[in-house]
Each structure stands twice: as structure tokens, then as C-alpha cells.
Amino acid sequence: MKKNNLLALFKVSVLLLSALSFNVFSQVADYRTDVIGISETQLSPSHWLDKLAQDNTLLMSQTNIAQFNQNLVRNNPYIVDPLAIAERLTKVELLAKINSISQPSKHERFYDNGNQLTQNDYASYIESTNQSAVKAENKVRYGLVVRRSVLRTFPTLDRVFKWGKDRDLDQFQESGLFPGDAVAILHVSKDQQWVLVQAYNYLAWMPKDDVAIGNKSDISAFKSDKNFIVVTGNKVFTNHVPNHEALSNIQLDMGIRLPLAKRSEYGDALYGQNPYANYIVKLPVRNSEGNLVLKLVPIPRGQDVRVGYLPFTKQNIITQSFKFLGERYGWGHDYNGRDCTGFIGEIYKSFGLLMPRNSGQQANGDYGQNNFFAKKSVKTDKLKVIEQMQVGDLIYTPGHVMMYLGLENSMPYIIHDVKDLAFIDERGEEYRGTLNGVSVTPLLPLKDYVNNITNIKRISAK
């Protein structure tokens, strides 16, 4: 494509894409959508895979990926090894960590009933963080997450919101954790029901019952086992195990890694079932004392899992991203879903790649190949970079991240987990709707998207 062609296409895209939205070949006779520039065929991964012409080039080897992750741990302040956290924290150190997450908002916040949070409300939440129990020296414990869980600003499930906003965005919801995640356990809440944990990319409060305390060396062996399966589906589940609730129907999200049991560790019957058609994995379980026990659990081979990480290729990037298509948006992994960065993070975890939690942390990180844009950058500068994008490139705007899918009629398309829909229609009027889920959209017509791009990043070994 010649320079300036993309800019010219941008100027006419609203009319072309508006027409495309309502005049397309459909697989379903009455299919229609208010999403600009979308036909039903574009909602199939094969539509985009066909454009790659069987390009299976390995973008990074597992050796490259391991080095990439090590560099993040060493150089990026938002990625840590929880098992490398000091075994004891001073009072000053622990209080600083508590206060780094559990602070009253500088903005007005409201409960679901419309009542505004008061100073007394915040005082109660701060009291629940149990800062009076912090000692001169505080022992750090380590654990493995046993079920999908939440990370919260304060040790509470109370939901709070911005005024006038919908009730999807709980401002106390920070992130999510998954079975097999390692955490450093730093502190316990006043009611003893929550623990402050440092995960690999976030620090916040999680329910105590969702983590099992273990020996650091055992946890390290669990995490570094070379013989493992990776969840490559959106969500998969362990088999039902009669009379073993802690092992039955456990949800495992994309990117989860669990060590495989050795064949010598089980026979030809496991929980009354022949295991030959299952992967037998070691699942962390919390016993009655809260301590870690590893239990053998069957995962059917028919589920979307594989031995080892997926090869990091453009084809696999597209395939993985479409496994989330249509999933409802979940702020901070709320609603048993994920948000824009969770969506990206889970895709890349299936290749073994780690990512910071928040979009700003990802956008500003110097890892990968970056095209940073200053506030004064003009649209033409951004369009020149957009013209050179490759499948899997990440596009950042304040508070949001998108993944590049490819070109359709010379126009760039993206897949992203997104809340709102806004564009200028064929009449030159602003149209507002909702997406509120993992969506395929054209990039250029979306209102303010190009103007607000801060970085376009390619994940690669430098």
C-alpha cells in the first residue's frame, strides 16, 4: 500500500463501513448488527487465518520467551517473582505495601443503592486491613491458588461505583487469580478471612480460603516442572470426581499451567475411572488446616488443553483470541470473564509470555518493539505506523488495549475486550451503542481511537 493511501481510506471509511454493516452476505438469513463494518463471516477465525496464507513462522522460541520473562522480572517494576519476596518484611515495608493498594479513592464513590461512601465507610475498610497487627518484623508465607479468585482493593466483596455509571465497573475489583498461581502471603485481614498477596503482576486482597499455604521449595518445584499441560481453551474443567468436591468441575482458564503426574503415580483406575483418555495433573488443594496438598486430577483429553506451551505464531494468536469472542466484559476479571488487559494477558500466557496487569503498565513498558506517541503526535504519524502493523500487534489508548487482526478491504481490523461503542455514521452523526464483550471491529471509524493511541507494541525478543 502506498503512503497516504491509509489516510485517504480513513476519510471514506465511515461511508463504506456503514454500508457494509447492513449489506453483507450472512451465514444466518436475518443476521444484522449495529457494529460498523462487520459481517458475520468476519466473526470466524478462519476468515482471518486465510489471510495469513499458512504463515506458521515462529515469532519467538521458548528459549526467547523464557529470557523475555526473566528480563521482565529483572527490569519491569510490575512483574515480580512472588517466591523471591523476602521471607520477612519490616513494619515500614509491610505498611507501605498495604497502603499502596488500600487507599480511599480521591473521587466520589457510591454503593449500588446510590449512597455515597463516607469517611466513616473508608475508615471501616482501612480498619479491616488490620494495620494495628503489623509487627516490627513480619513473616511472609507462600501459597498456591486453589480456585479462580478475586483480587480486591480492600478485604471485602462490597461493590462500589462511580456516580452515574452502570453497575458493571466495581471500583474495588482489581484483578483475578487462577488455580496454580503462586503468591506471597504478606498479611491477614482483621476478620481473618482475607490475605494480602503479591502475585506475579499484582498486589491486593484475596479470600483466604482460595489459597493453600505451602513450603516455598515445593511451590517452586510445582511451578518449574518441565512436564506440564497448558489450558488453551477459554475455560476447561476437571472431571467430576465423586465425593471429592475440591477436585470436581474445577474451572481452568486459558494460560493456566499444571504439572503432569508421572505414570508411576497412578494405576489403571483413578477415582473409579480408567485414566487412559485423560491428562492426569497435579492440582493444588487446601486442606482443613489451610495447607497445600497436591492431588491428582483427571482432565479429559477432549478438552482444549495441550502438553507444553503453544508455539508463538500469528496463526495461534488469531486462534486463541477468537476463543473468547462474545464473552461478556468483566472489569478486573469480574463476571467470571476478563477485561481488555486480561483478554490480552490470557492469550499470551498460552504461549508462556508474561504481561503486566494494567494497560498503562503494558503501554509504557519498554519490552518488545514500541512505537510511542507523544500527546502532540498528529494522526498522520499514527496512520503510518498502523499501515505497518502485523497480526498480534498491540494498540494502546489510555485505559484500553486492542490486538491487530489484519486488513479487510485495505482497512485495519482489531479484536478487543471492550465496553462501549461509538463512531460517526454515514450521516456524519455520532452513534453510541454498547459492545460489552470480546469484539471484532474496524479500527479507524471508532470515535477518538486513532487520536488517542499512545503506543503500538509488538511482542518480540529484542
| CA angle (387, 388, 394) in 5-degree steps | 100
pLDDT for 2 equals 46
pTM here is 0.93
Of 32, 61, 134, the residue nearest 93 (C-alpha): 134
pLDDT for 6 equals 56
Please give the full DSSP string across 59-101, using - where no structure is assigned.
SB-HHHHHHHHHHHHHH-TT---GGGS-SEEEHHHHHHHHHHH
| Single-letter amino acid code for the residue at 131 | Q
pLDDT for 163 equals 85
- Rounded Cα distance between 350 and 344, Å, is 10
Residue-range domain boundaries for the chain: 5-60+312-458, 79-223, 226-307
| Integer CA distances (angstroms), 12 to 93, 128, 403, 410, 425, in order | 56, 56, 23, 12, 11
pLDDT for 313 equals 98
- pLDDT digit string (tens) for 382-414? 999 999 999 999 999 999 999 999 999 999 999
pLDDT for 426 equals 78
Strand partners, 231: 305
- Rounded Cα distance between 80 and 352, Å, is 15
170: cell is: 466495581
Question: Looking at 199-265, which runs of residues are DSSP E strands?
Answer: 203-207, 211-214, 228-231, 235-237, 251-253, 257-259
* CATH 3.90.1720.10 at 5-60+312-458, yes or no: yes
Our measurement of the distance from residue 199's CA atom to the centroid of its chain's CA atoms, rounded to an integer in Å, reads: 13
Contact 200, 181 (CB under 8 A): yes
CATH class of this structure's domain 226-307? mainly beta
Strand partners, 284: 294
Our measurement of the distance from residue 132's CA atom to the centroid of its chain's CA atoms, rounded to an integer in Å, reads: 34
Our measurement of the distance from residue 439's CA atom to the centroid of its chain's CA atoms, rounded to an integer in Å, reads: 15
Half-sphere exposure of 109 (CA within 13 A, CB side): 18
371: cell is: 512505537
450: cell is: 486513532
How do 182-188 and 110-111 pair as beta strands?
Answer: unpaired
**CB within 8 A of 404, min separation 6: which ones?**
389, 390, 391, 392, 393, 394, 395, 412, 413, 414, 443
Q: 190-199 in b/e burial notation, b at 16+ Cβ within 10 A? A: eeeebbbbbb
Divide the 462 residues of the chain into consecutive groups of 10 and give the mean pLDDT of each group.
51 49 55 94 97 91 98 98 98 99 97 96 99 99 99 99 87 99 99 99 99 98 99 98 97 99 98 98 98 98 99 98 99 98 99 98 98 95 97 98 96 97 87 97 94 97 80
Contact 223, 208 (CB under 8 A): no
- Rounded Cα distance between 437 and 420, Å, is 9
Helix, strand, coil percentages, rounded to 5, for the chain: 30, 30, 40
Distance separating the N- and C-terminal Cα atoms of the chain: 27
- Rounded Cα distance between 318 and 322, Å, is 6
